[in-house]
Amino acid sequence: MESDDVNGVNVNDLIKKVSELPANLRFVNNNYLVSYIKDSIKKTEKYDSFFINTKDKQLEEIWGMYGKNPDSNKYAYRITLERNNM
């Protein structure tokens, strides 16, 4: 069996099929909200929609996806949230 580790990082922590994402994520494809996310967070410009998790009105986790339909076979890409990224 092949390992999913690349340079000590588990690739499954960075790229997942939509069907494998945690259930607590909310799908965002509304044009206004997508534009707000793209304007507010670096490294999000290339994505068309997002899966987000918030806690106490703060963004805790975000995944970007190409396209606006969350088909289970599509891939989502984790976007690292850092202080200088927002």
Supply 4's token pair. 């999913």
pLDDT digits 0-9 by tens, 24-66: 999 999 999 999 999 999 899 999 999 999 999 889 999 999 9
Supply the pLDDT for residue 13.
Answer: 77
Q: Give all domains of the chain, ordered by start, each with its CATH number.
A: 15-85 (3.10.450.450)
Supply 21's token pair. 């994402």
pLDDT digits 0-9 by tens, 62-84: 999 999 999 999 999 999 887 65
Tell me how far apart the alpha carbons of residues 48 and 68 are, in angstroms, rounded to a whole number. 6
Supply the pLDDT for residue 1.
Answer: 38
Could you count the other beta carbons within 10 Å of the beta carbon of residue 38?
17
Give this prediction's pTM: 0.82
